[in-house]
Structure 1
Amino acid sequence: MRIGYYAHHHGSGHCRQVDKLAALLSTKERKQLTVFTSLPSEAYAFTCIEEQQIVRLRAEDERVDDVLKGRAGEYWQPASLHYSPVGNIDIQKRSRQMLETIFQRKIDVMIIDVSVEIAMLCRAASIPYVYVRLPGIRDDTPHLNAFAGALALLCPYPQVLEATLTPSWVCQKTLYLGFINNSKPDVSPYRDFITTLMTLSADNKALKALLASDPIIVTVIKGYGGHEAIDKKLPELRRLLPTAFIISLGPIDHDKRRYVDIATQVDDVTPFMHHSDYLLMACGLNTIAQAYYCATPVVVLPDDRPHQEQEVMAQALIAQGRALSWQQFVRFMRDDRPYTNPDDPIQTQAQDKSDDVPSLPYADSLPAAQAFMSSTMTYSTAKSWFNEWLLPQLTLSPET
């Protein structure tokens, strides 16, 4: 089949997700993908999808000449839409651009990641779609309508992290793809990690003396979507662990640099994840996907996101024993005892600071995503795919 993928423009995570899915296909099969997004090309560089496969949509921002604002009063706003300005020429043109491209390229099924408005556009135009369902409490009418209108729902995380408040029919209609990591990480030996730290430090002599004392290494990983909340914890982290070696990866407030030993940005966080004693991070899906299969204990500080997206993910990780809350971390440190979870098969592979690289079940959920993507290339029509492959994967039927 020919697949269209709508990637939302907030952050690069949605484009990154389709890139990871495309990597599961052969080079020839990837040509069957078309990506629709209003994210500019400089914001994310695709690795598995060529530019001619990407349809750059107009932005959907409000305009001064709109007849009605995107979020109007109760009696002017359809309950099935979050955002729907009236008379917006940009939205009119992007909608036409999408529909014409779907028709011209003979796209069989759309994957929507994420937009209830695009979902309703597809359903009204009789275009089959599956909908990517993110973490959080998404029980509002627009989301439930988008879920109901889909052939199925896709979750880019394991079922064990599902929110307890999710309606049962939504779970029954969901394919859980798990965290998608396309390859086992290439973890450098510990001595190489230390060499890397030396290149990042302005004072190698002081760094060498500090590392000689075998300190606790804490790596703080941040993105550009809300690092201020984590930065506010840095003074408390330093007071809690005055002799620790603290690394900040990503953006950092200027006045918080004095609380860390190294503040930098790197292309690959993998060695930091595997050779640190603790990781401090928010709960963005892409970062958590990497950290989930790492033996290093994770301390989560969820960002404030719509629908409690990161809070719900943090709660699930903590409940499963795959993460600590800030309060739990503080308690362990004040009790002067390291955190280990004997019930966690990943963390029980205790790390020592040697050159041995741990062998981890990094991609144990990859078969679900692989099976899904392969199925889209096995069937030639949406109807045969839906009836013969997709429906048998679900515990819900159209007659329910």
Structure 2
Amino acid sequence: MTKRPLVFFAHHQGRGHANRIMAIAAYIPHDRPLHILTAKPDQFDNMPRHSKITQLPDMIGAPSRSNALHEEPTPSIMHCVPLGVDEMRQHMRIIANTLGEVDPALFVIDVSAEIALLARIMSVPAISIRMHGSRNDTGHLAAYEASVGMLAPFDEAIEQEDYPAWARERTYYTGGLCTTDGPVLERELARERLGLPTDKSITLVIAGGGGSGTPYAPLTVAARAEPNALWLIAGPLHKEGHETDFGNLRELGWVDNLDEYLAAADRVVASAGDNTVHEIARFAKPFLCIPEWRYFDEQRRKAIELDRVGGAIYRETWPASIPEWKEALAATDNLDTANLAQLHEPDAARRAAEWLEAKAMEYWTAS
């Protein structure tokens, strides 16, 4: 008997949603067809197995067709539903048509509260992938209720206290899901491969791809705070033009071998992006976490939970002086890295896939 497909929706902001779906898809049984809905199909160029990909219009910033429509207030049960936007109507029409034509076993949503409501209206069982944040608003709670289950790609130890108990009961925690695999190199071998000094302390700064870039100015202060150490920055930087460069502060830009730099580092400074956190946990490095602004306070809430369990030192803002940097770095170096390491689950993607397959079988096996 042919199995019903799984349909995935991938939010286009950042790379994490697509990478997570691809990691999970690698473990979905091959007799279960896959269908991806995304505004950025190129993010799935490395899809590990065959799947149909349908492109959605990118509706972000698209105009309404009149000022009166644009000025209509957003209903409390939704977050981003401006009226009179052609791209939004096309976006939702393609999703609705796909669900109607494909008739999926499950619709896995990473992430959108409104699309979870659409799935329920169309009588399609939806799984909402969870993220941290202040999400006890009407819209998110409605999406949780509309979903047949939630998939949390993190360890239950860093669940938020204010997440409702009834929703927690319907959530499957995979453990920390890292979308990067490969060997965890010894520090000395990694430094040898990268041509880095073996006699210096090295701090790796990771800037994520979902925001405007890490500010450069605070890092110049960090370099001054540790003049005999080497600071490496991977990812996009935001410069204001007044910064002074220092010889022990090196920009790497985007790198394809971030795992080697993680292995080579003595400590890591980064935001609280999902995959970033679990990459650092995989290498068990002392972690200074400075969250970036995200909707619903996602990164800040996650950073607070990491700090609570001793997995990272959380700072709300970048240290602005040499004494502040020294204090933050000393606290980071005193962390027990085992607390962070246990938040990474090597089999998280496989566990997610197995849970989704079990859910699909539960709903569509004749009784």
TM over 0.5: yes
1:344 alignment partner AA:
N
Q: 1:270 aligns with which of 245, 251, 259?
A: 259
Partner of 2:81: 84
Amino-acid identity (%): 23
Write the deviation string for residues 243-298 of structure 1: whole angstroms up to 9, x where unpaired: 11111111224555824442113112112212211100001001112112322111
1:95 offset after TM fit, Å? Answer: 2.2
Question: What SS is found at the alignment partner of 2:204?
Answer: strand
Structure 1 regions of 5+ residues with no counterpart?
199-206, 348-359, 389-400
Provide, for residues 165-210 of structure 1, a one-character-per-residue CA deviation record: whole Å limited to 9, x for no partner: 2122221221112222367531344444234433xxxxxxxx7xxx
* Contact 1:71 1:84 (8 Å CA) reproduced: no
* 3-state secondary structure, aligned to 2:282: coil
State the partner residue of 2:13. Answer: 10
Matches within 5 A, 1:222-301: 222-226=207-211, 228-253=213-238, 258-259=245-246, 260-264=248-252, 265-301=254-290
The match for 1:194 among 191, 196, 201 is: 191
Aligned twin of 1:37: 38
Residue 217 of structure 1 aligns with an amino acid whose one-letter code is I
Tell which deviates more after alignment, 222-231 or 121-130.
222-231
Are residue 304 (structure 1) and residue 293 (structure 2) matched?
A: yes
Task: Indicate if the aligned counterparts of 1:23 and 1:48 stay in contact, CA closer than 8 A.
Answer: yes
State the TM-score, normalizing by the size of structure 2: 0.84
The amino acid that maps onto 1:262 is: R
C-alpha contact (below 8 Å) 2:303/2:312 kept by paired residues: yes
Q: One-letter code of the match for 2:221?
A: E
Quote the offset at 1:56 in angstroms. Answer: 0.3
- In structure 2, the partner of 1:363 is 346
How far off is 1:376 after superposition?
5.0
Contact kept in structure 2, 1:178 and 1:369, CA below 8 Å: no
CA deviation map 1:30-54 (0-9, x unaligned): x61111111252x55333244x611
Change (3 A) 1:222 1:375: same
What are the superposed Cα offsets for residues 93-137 of structure 1, whole Å, 9 maximum, x if unpaired?
A: 232222222222231221111112211211112111111121111
Equivalent-residue separation in structure 2 for 1:47 and 1:97 (angstroms) = 21
C-alpha distance in 2 between matches for 1:318 and 1:266? 28
Per-residue CA deviations over 1:288-339 (Å, capped at 9, x if unaligned) read 121123221111010011111001111111111111234797326569x942
- Paired residues in the alignment total 352
Range 284-293 or range 140-149, more displaced? 284-293
Structure 1, 218-227 or 312-321: larger mean CA deviation = 218-227
**Distance between the aligned counterparts of 1:244 and 1:272, measured in 2?**
15
* Counterpart in the other structure of 1:351: none
- Residue of structure 2 in register with 1:372 after alignment: 355
Farther off after superposition, 187-196 or 148-157: 187-196
In 1, Cα distance between the equivalents of 2:295 and 2:301?
Answer: 11
Q: Distance in 2 between matches of 1:285 and 1:303?
A: 12
Q: Is the 1:230–1:281 contact (alpha carbons within 8 Å) kept by the matching residues of 2?
A: no
Larger C-alpha radius of gyration, 1 or 2?
A: 1
Partner of residue 59, structure 1:
58
Normalised by the length of structure 1, the TM-score is 0.78
Unaligned runs of 5+ in 2: none
CA contact under 8 A between 1:218 and 1:245: conserved in structure 2?
yes
- Mapped contact 1:240–1:334 kept (Cα < 8 A): no
